[in-house]
Structure 1
Amino acid sequence: MGITVNIDIGGTFTDFYATEGEGKGLITKSPTTHYDLSVGFMKGIKSLAREYGRSMDEFLGGTDAVRYSTTLGTNALIERNGPKLGLITTAGHEDAIFLGRGRSWADGGDSQGNKDLARINKATPLISRNMVVGLRERIDSFGNPVCPLKREDVLAALQELVDKGAMGFVVCLLWSFANPAHERMVKQVIEEEYPEDYLGSLPVFLSSDVSPKSGEYTRFITTIVNAYIHGVMADELTKLGNELRDGGYQRPLMLVHNTGGMKKVSRTRAVLTHNAGPVAGLHGALTLGKQYGHKNIIFTDMGGTSFDIGVVSGGRLQTYDFIPVIDRWRTNIPAIEVKSIGAGGGSIAWVNELLGNSLEVGPQSAGSMPGPACYDLGGNEPTVTDADLVLGYLNPENYLGGEMLLDEDLSVGVI
């Protein structure tokens, strides 16, 4: 039986766990390299190869599976570095994503902001209002065409959005989940005008494909989020897959989903990767619980950036979020429920002057670069890790297996 490599990229560290048959598992870590995630990824793979006493070719050539939970999509949303998209919708509903639902202004807000709801701002839209156009068409709630869609209207909408710099299209028409004919017609026109063999080929995302469910706002948002992070993820994962193949790996890269399963990169929608790492950890807790005979488990995962918590009840994962919030947007792709707060090892301690100079921790994090002050990489704010070091909870000479030395004096200084 070959080697299985499992990789989880977090905000601060990337964790690796490898097994071969019934043999002992090996664990290693490397700092997450946000400027290029593949650098930290391949560094960890090389470390595992050394632990096995093999060359990269031998190690990856003997690997049966590489399973990967990634934060690529999450990072794209945080950094707002996705492409400029155009939204094509039904005339009269151009403002649907901006109006939102009654509670949408609070979705994804931090705990401090939720204490003063009147001061919370709506999330900045991923698509600006001038990049939204409406088409005169209508499908009723039973899927019957009421107002036909005209090709010339689609062409005019496309030209308007392309002239404004659209790098891709999101098509969300009313009741398309009941009858996707009009959305598919729009896609057909786009592909005829901008075929794949053209340099200016533009991707098209249909809500009837990504999120064929009722609920106008969440269906629109789910499709937009998926389109926004798709390109960034596709580029990075293609690069990563190529590096693995160049190193000798001969199988497909598998991506962990937030539903608890996994698929090949070529069979994965980007939106399904959000929060997949904590969900994978919850599955690990379920497996350990079965081995020790425990059916009810509270699972926690403290990383460098966040603290995640989930529940195993009756020996099963029974808690799902059917309208999960991704960043600041409510979607309708069901996911196993794992709650996260900004309270990891890199979370920064600060004084909140608005609340009587109270001491707060997080949600801001020092990440891996510059990281906590004790890393001696330029961090100048006190973090949970600095406090743990000063309190004696951490061994400064055996951090990260001795690969990283911690400077306690720097921690004392910033605290």
Structure 2
Amino acid sequence: MAKAQYTVDIDTGGTFTDGFFSYGDQFEAVKVDTTPHDLTVCFNNCIAEGAKRFGFKNVSDFLKETKTIRLSTTVGTNSLIQQTGPKIGLIVTKGNEKALYQQDDNPLLNFLIQPELVVSVDEEVSENGELVKAINEEEVKLATKQLLEQGARVLVVSLRNSHANQQNEKRVRKIIQEDFPKHYLETKPIQLGSEISSRANDAIRTNAAVVNAYLHPDMVKYLYKADEGVRQKGFTKPLLIAHANGGVARVAKTKALDTYNSGPASGLMGARYIGKMYGLDNIMSVDVGGTSTDVGLISNGELTFDTESSIAEIPVHSPLIHVLSVGGGGGSIAKVTPEGTIQLGPESARAVPGPACFDLGGTRPTVTDACVVLGIIDPDYFLGGTKKISKEKAVNAVQKWIAAPLNISNEEAAALIVDKIEQIGADTLNQLAVERDKNIQDFQLFSFGGGGGLFSGGMARKSGMKKVYTFPFSSVFSAFGLSTADIAHTYQERIDYDFAPSKDVSGFIGAANDKLEQIKL
């Protein structure tokens, strides 16, 4: 009988990095501070702590006996929520600079991309893929120079009908690379819309490319460095990255867009796994992290997928496990609005400086500080007693920024903060139930994430749900869910075929099946 090997599953969040380590029927749950200055530090710290829990003094010895390392992350989600991504320069077909191929207001403009960072080139490809007008080299050079001078850090090329013929897009990229070599561009990548999405809709394809570009720099820096780091310490297999469609793949097979909401998606996979064990078919999940609250739904034992999905209300039509993510987590900063109400986020204290109670320089009150003031969190037993926190700092922050402006007690102010995050979760649960045309009272609530157990009772009460489940590893549940994921590669190829009532489609179906068989082989 083969000797059992260790498995490592890590979910990197905005505030904490969670690990689920297993060896046969043994498991260890690990939680360490996320290190936003370098996310590979917390990744490696998590592995080191897991190795220590199993009695290893040397991480390299542990990794040599490790079969699998999977990694999921909400870094992309947090980049969008907090709008911390890079400046993006976009090149489109002439005449589409303002609308970006859409009739209505484009959701990208003044959000992920600024109007002055959109330029155009005069080119044309017909709907059936015929090259009508080729690229003018000088025009591309001028457009690129304009974008770089405006401070663009990533360049996206998304031209009309490029799904049918990539020639002009590829020509633009070649011109840019020849005229602005790497030592000038530094690490500025050039991404083509047709390589990110094969959708025929020019607007959707452009949306997907820009969102991917917005997430790309942080993800590339993080994932490749993490992969190389474990290899240098003796891990001989590829690091596997969680995708939001429910599978995992190595870094080289991963686009930034694939990773969006992969952490919450992993949590839903774990919820389905446990639901099957206990015969629970209708589950809603709430994952309260440090920066966001994520809500998902399992109906009749099946995950819900979106093929016409949106990310941050931007349609991208990428296949994703459906998760609603909203700002509001343990590290979300609370403030009083001019109307005298409580607002949470979107700013987060993150792990550094963290909530005021962490005593690392944070002075603004967060949800975590409110829980300390109310006694919901024991200052002497935070993270199992491994992290000491200051009740005095929490009280001071809540008093200064919330209680004093509202002329109420510290406890009343803290209660308003907790009530707010509970209401955010309840509203999101109800929103998802309505979206999926479900009766929320037919579902059980699975609560997880670092703050899930603190607020799920109030969320259930406010939303109308009757039963809440929590688990010994709820604080690292997304990492646990990741341990159930298999390797999956998704391939897309456009097949244009005209259907008519009288047309024999057997040839088309046969060709499609042949293509699938080739992929399997």
Alignment TM-score, normalising by the size of structure 2:
0.68
Shift of residue 317, structure 1, vs aligned partner: 0.6
Shift of residue 278, structure 1, vs aligned partner: 0.5
CA distance in 2, matches of 1:137, 1:364: 42
Which amino acid in the other structure matches residue 16 of structure 1?
A: G
Query: Do 1:194 and 1:202's aligned partners in 2 also have CA atoms closer than 8 Å?
Result: no
% of aligned pairs identical?
38
CA distance in 1, matches of 2:221, 2:348: 27
- Asked if 1:389 corresponds to 2:369, the answer is no
Q: What's the counterpart of residue 59 of structure 1? A: 62
Shift of residue 375, structure 1, vs aligned partner: 2.1
Query: Do 2:14 and 2:78's aligned partners in 1 also have CA atoms closer than 8 Å?
Result: no
Describe the SS at the equivalent of 1:96.
Answer: coil
Cα pair distance change 1:371/1:243, threshold 3 Å:
same
Q: What's the counterpart of residue 350 of structure 1? A: 335
Cα pair distance change 1:315/1:195, threshold 3 Å:
same
Q: What's the counterpart of residue 185 of structure 1? A: 171
CA distance in 2, matches of 1:270, 1:36: 18
How far does the alpha carbon of each residue in 1:49-91 deviate from its partner, in whole angstroms, 9 at most, with x for none?
A: 1111112111111112111112444455545452x55433212
Which amino acid in the other structure matches residue 337 of structure 1?
A: H
2:156 counterpart (138, 163, 170): 170
Task: Considering fraction of residues, name the structure with more helix.
Answer: 2
Shift of residue 258, structure 1, vs aligned partner: 1.4
How far does the alpha carbon of each residue in 1:231-279 deviate from its partner, in whole angstroms, 9 at most, with x for none?
A: 3322232222222122222211111111111111111111111111111
How far does the alpha carbon of each residue in 1:313-369 deviate from its partner, in whole angstroms, 9 at most, with x for none?
A: 01101242623124x644232321111222322233332222xx1234444332222
2:355 counterpart (365, 372, 380): 372
Query: Do 2:306 and 2:317's aligned partners in 1 also have CA atoms closer than 8 Å?
Result: no
CA distance in 2, matches of 1:253, 1:267: 11
How far does the alpha carbon of each residue in 1:154-191 deviate from its partner, in whole angstroms, 9 at most, with x for none?
A: 45545665676665532211111122232233334445
Cα pair distance change 1:46/1:314, threshold 3 Å:
same
How far does the alpha carbon of each residue in 1:12-39 deviate from its partner, in whole angstroms, 9 at most, with x for none?
A: 111011112x221111111111111122
Residues matched between the structures, number: 393
Cα pair distance change 1:101/1:325, threshold 3 Å:
farther
Cα pair distance change 1:11/1:148, threshold 3 Å:
closer
Cα pair distance change 1:346/1:321, threshold 3 Å:
farther
Shift of residue 301, structure 1, vs aligned partner: 0.7
Q: What's the counterpart of residue 264 of structure 1? A: 250
Shift of residue 145, structure 1, vs aligned partner: 3.0
1:204 counterpart (172, 186, 190): 190
Q: What's the counterpart of residue 407 of structure 2? A: none
Q: What's the counterpart of residue 50 of structure 1? A: 52
Greater CA deviation, 63-72 or 293-302? 63-72
Q: Which structure 1 segments of 5+ residues have no match?
A: 108-121
1:220 counterpart (190, 200, 206): 206
Which amino acid in the other structure matches residue 68 of structure 2?
A: A
2:11 counterpart (8, 14, 18): 8
CA distance in 1, matches of 2:346, 2:327: 4
1:123 counterpart (105, 110, 114): 110
- Asked if 1:411 corresponds to 2:394, the answer is yes
Cα pair distance change 1:370/1:161, threshold 3 Å:
closer
Query: Do 1:321 and 1:337's aligned partners in 2 also have CA atoms closer than 8 Å?
Result: no
CA distance in 1, matches of 2:295, 2:202: 30
Alignment TM-score, normalising by the size of structure 1:
0.84
Query: Do 1:321 and 1:336's aligned partners in 2 also have CA atoms closer than 8 Å?
Result: no
1:96 counterpart (95, 99, 105): 99
Describe the SS at the equivalent of 1:18.
Answer: strand
CA distance in 2, matches of 1:303, 1:253: 24
Cα pair distance change 1:352/1:159, threshold 3 Å:
closer
Shift of residue 226, structure 1, vs aligned partner: 1.8
Describe the SS at the equivalent of 1:30.
Answer: strand
CA distance in 2, matches of 1:202, 1:368: 28
- Asked if 1:339 corresponds to 2:324, the answer is yes
Shift of residue 376, structure 1, vs aligned partner: 2.4
Matches within 5 A, 1:17-96: 17-20=20-23, 22-54=24-56, 55-74=58-77, 76-77=79-80, 78=82, 80-82=84-86, 85-96=88-99
CA distance in 2, matches of 1:124, 1:362: 17
Query: Do 1:101 and 1:217's aligned partners in 2 also have CA atoms closer than 8 Å?
Result: no
Query: Do 1:324 and 1:334's aligned partners in 2 also have CA atoms closer than 8 Å?
Result: no
Query: Do 1:194 and 1:201's aligned partners in 2 also have CA atoms closer than 8 Å?
Result: no
Task: Provide the alpha-carbon RMSD of the alignment.
Answer: 2.9
Cα pair distance change 1:278/1:321, threshold 3 Å:
farther
Which amino acid in the other structure matches residue 410 of structure 1?
A: K
Matches within 5 A, 1:268-307: 268-307=254-293
Q: Which structure 2 segments of 5+ residues have no match?
A: 399-409, 411-521
CA distance in 1, matches of 2:363, 2:150: 43
Cα pair distance change 1:179/1:395, threshold 3 Å:
same
Which amino acid in the other structure matches residue 389 of structure 1?
A: V
Cα pair distance change 1:391/1:165, threshold 3 Å:
closer
Cα pair distance change 1:213/1:81, threshold 3 Å:
closer
